Amino acid sequence: MSSIFDYFFLSGYFNARLPRLDYSHGNVTTTATTVPSNPRTDDFQLGHWDGFKQEAKQFRYQIDKSPAWIHLPRLPDAIKVHSEQNVVNAYIRYVEPILTAMYSSLGRQILIDSTERICALHPDLAIIENVPSAEGSGKSLDLVKTIIEFKSPWAFPIVSDTDLVERLENECHLFAASQAYASRMELRTQRMPLNKSELLANASKKDCEDTKVIRAVSQMYAYMSVNHLKYGVLSTYEWTFFFRRVKRSSDGLPLLEVSAPVPSMLLVESFAYLIHIVNYDHSYLSPYNTPVQNRKCLSPETYIYTLTEISINDIHVVSPIAFGREACIIRIANDSNCVLKVWDCLQKRENFQSFENEAYIYEYAQSLQGNLIPVFQGKFVASGFVYILKMSYCGQRLGTRINSRRQEIADAFEILHSAGIIHGDVAERNILIGDDNVVRIVDFELSKLKRDMSEIEWATQLKDEERNIELLLNN
C-alpha cells in the first residue's frame, strides 16, 4: 500500500478519513451464533460511560500539535463488504496502520492483531504492546491491553442515537416475556404434539433475533472478565462502543460501562485515547464470587456428566497454558490440581460439537481416568456460550523426553484401542507427563468409539492411527 510521508502535526492522523463500507453488491453473510443455550445478563449490570467522547476529544487537543513525521496510508473511498471477516480485515488494513504509526511517532510500539494463542477465549482482535519482560533481560513479551470484537452491521444494526443500556434492558424484558410465553405454549402443546416442534423451532429462531444486544454485550463481558481486562471494544466499523469494567453496582453486581456509539469519523481519535489510558491501567481482576442466587460454582450439581450452569465471574484464570484447534486450556486460581478446557461457542458453532464429543468420550472411558487419561471433574456453561470441561492437571508435554518413553506411549495407545477408542489426533502435544512421572493422553475432541462405527470403519481408522503412532515414535 502506498503511503504519504510528511512532517506534520499529529492532527494528520486524526483527520484521516476512513473508507466507507459498501454493501450495494448484496450477497452478504454473517457468522452463525446460535448455540443450544440462553444468553445471560445476570453476571453484570450495564451502565453508561458518561463523557467518553469528551475525554477522547480533550486528549486529542493535548497531543494534536505534537510535531512528527507522518506515515499515513493512502485510503480508498470505499471497501466492499461480504461478511464479518471483511469488517475485521478493514480494521487490520486501514485502522491499525494509522494507530501504530501515530504511536510510533510518540515512541511506543503497539499492534492490533489476532488473539490466537494469547487470550483465553477468542475475541477477534487485541491491542497488543511489546514490553520488556524483565529488568535487564533483553527479552520482551506481547502484552494484551484490550480486546476488540466485531459484528457485521446487518447482524448488529446500530444508529447514531442507539442507547445500548436501554436496548439491553428492553431485550431482557422481551426475552423474559417470550420465554414465559413459550413455556405456557409448551404446556398447551403437550395436548397438540403435531405443532410442538414447529412452535419450539420458531421460538428458538425468534429468540436469537431478539437477543442480539444481550448476546453481544454478554460476549464482551465474558472476554474482558476471563482475561482480566478493564477495557473492551465492540464495533461494526461504522459504529463502535467502548466498554470498561468498574466497581460493583449498588445491586452488588460487577458494573460494565459503555460509551455512546462512536462514528467511524471519530474512530482514530477514540482509539488513540483508549490506547493512552490502557497504557497506565489495563487490567482488572475478576471478582471471586457472584451474589446471584441459585448459581453454581465450578463443581457439578449431582452427576458430573450433567451440564451445570455457572457465572463467568467464577472462572478465576491464572493464565492460559495451552491452545488447541479451537479450545484453550487454562489454570485457575482456586484449584491448582485441575485445568479448564474452554470453548468459545459464539465464534464457531461447531465448537459445541467438539465440547460434547470430548465429554462423551470421558463418560465412556471412566475406567481409564487417572491412570491413562485425566480425571474428569465436570462440564459447565457460562454466559450462555462459554463451554467448559474441568479435569485434573496432568503435567507438561514430553518434548525431547518422548524418545525415552516410547514403549510407555505405545502401551498407552494400545490400552486406549483395546477399550474401543480411536484418539483421532496423535501428536506430541497430546501426550503429557505429570509430577508422578506417569504418561497420560489428552485431547479427545476428534475421538471416536468402536461402538459407533462399522467394523470396516473401525479397522481402517485403527490402522491409520497405528501408522501415526509409529511415525510419532520413530521421528
Q: Pick from 302, 410, 328, 310: which is nearest to 40 by CA?
A: 310
Crossing angle of the two packed helices 455-474 and 406-418, in degrees rounded to 10: 170
The pLDDT of residue 389 is 95
The pLDDT of residue 335 is 81
Averaged over 321-346, what is the pLDDT? 86
Q: Which of 142-156, 161-175, 437-451 has the highest average model confidence (pLDDT)? A: 437-451
pLDDT digits (tens, 9 = 90+) for 385-404: 899 999 999 999 888 788 88
256 sits in which H/E element: strand 254-258
For residues 165 and 47, is the Cβ–Cβ distance under 8 A? yes
Q: Beta-strand (E) ranges in 311-437?
A: 317-323, 328-332, 335-344, 376-382, 386-392, 396-397, 421-422, 431-433
- Tell me, what DSSP letter sits at residue 313? G
Q: Which of 42-56, 241-255, 353-367 has the highest average model confidence (pLDDT)? A: 353-367
For residues 347 and 122, is the Cβ–Cβ distance under 8 A? yes
The pLDDT of residue 42 is 61
The pLDDT of residue 2 is 39
Residue 27 has pLDDT above 90, yes or no: no
**Is residue 135 very low, low, confident or very high in pLDDT (cuts 50, 70, 90)?**
low
Contacts of 411 (CB under 8 A, 6+ apart): none
Averaged over 150-155, what is the pLDDT? 80
**Is residue 86 very low, low, confident or very high in pLDDT (cuts 50, 70, 90)?**
confident
- 136's grid cell: 535487564
In angstroms, the Cα distances linking 352 to 171, 327, 344, 349, 356 are 25, 10, 8, 6, 6
- The pTM score is 0.81
Q: Which of 127-136, 323-332, 427-436 has the highest average model confidence (pLDDT)? A: 427-436
DSSP 445-468: TT-EEGGGS-HHHHHHHHHHHHHH
- Characterize 433-455 residue by residue with b for buried, 16 or more Cβ atoms within 10 angstroms of its Cβ, and e for exposed: beeeeebbbbbbbebbbbeebee
The SS3 assignment for 233 reads strand
The pLDDT of residue 199 is 36
Residue 356 has pLDDT above 90, yes or no: yes
- 337's grid cell: 490440581
Averaged over 415-432, what is the pLDDT? 95
Q: How far apart are CA 179 and CA 392, in angstroms?
A: 37
Mean of pLDDT over the chain: 79
**Please, which residues bridge with residue 142 across strands?**
130
**Is residue 103 very low, low, confident or very high in pLDDT (cuts 50, 70, 90)?**
confident
The pLDDT of residue 343 is 93
In angstroms, the Cα distances linking 180 to 176, 183, 192, 257 are 6, 5, 19, 29
In angstroms, the Cα distances linking 366 to 373, 375, 382, 412 are 9, 8, 25, 15
Q: How far apart are CA 347 and CA 33, in angstroms?
A: 7
Q: In what order do the strands lie in the sheet with 386-392?
A: 307-310, 376-382, 386-392, 335-344, 328-332, 317-323
**Is residue 64 very low, low, confident or very high in pLDDT (cuts 50, 70, 90)?**
low
pLDDT digits (tens, 9 = 90+) for 178-224: 655 455 544 444 444 333 334 334 444 444 556 788 888 888 999 99
Q: How far apart are CA 365 and CA 359, in angstroms?
A: 10
In angstroms, the Cα distances linking 240 to 21, 106, 268 are 14, 25, 11
Q: Which of 12-16, 22-26, 292-296, 403-407 has the highest average model confidence (pLDDT)? A: 403-407
All domains of the chain in start order, with CATH: 3-161+211-278 (no CATH), 294-393 (3.30.200.20), 395-475 (1.10.510.10)
The SS3 assignment for 212 reads helix
The pLDDT of residue 298 is 66
Q: How far apart are CA 444 and CA 329, in angstroms?
A: 13
Residue 449 has pLDDT above 90, yes or no: yes
The pLDDT of residue 357 is 95
Residue 416 has pLDDT above 90, yes or no: yes
**Is residue 91 very low, low, confident or very high in pLDDT (cuts 50, 70, 90)?**
confident
The pLDDT of residue 61 is 80
pLDDT digits (tens, 9 = 90+) for 242-300: 999 987 766 677 889 999 999 988 888 898 889 888 887 888 766 544 444 444 466 66
Q: Pick from 316, 321, 313, 371: which is nearest to 341 by CA?
A: 321
Averaged over 431-459, what is the pLDDT? 94
Averaged over 321-333, what is the pLDDT? 85
Least confident of 73-77, 159-163, 204-208, 409-413: 204-208
Reading phi first (left if > 0) and then psi (alpha if -120 to 50, else beta), residue 209 is in alpha
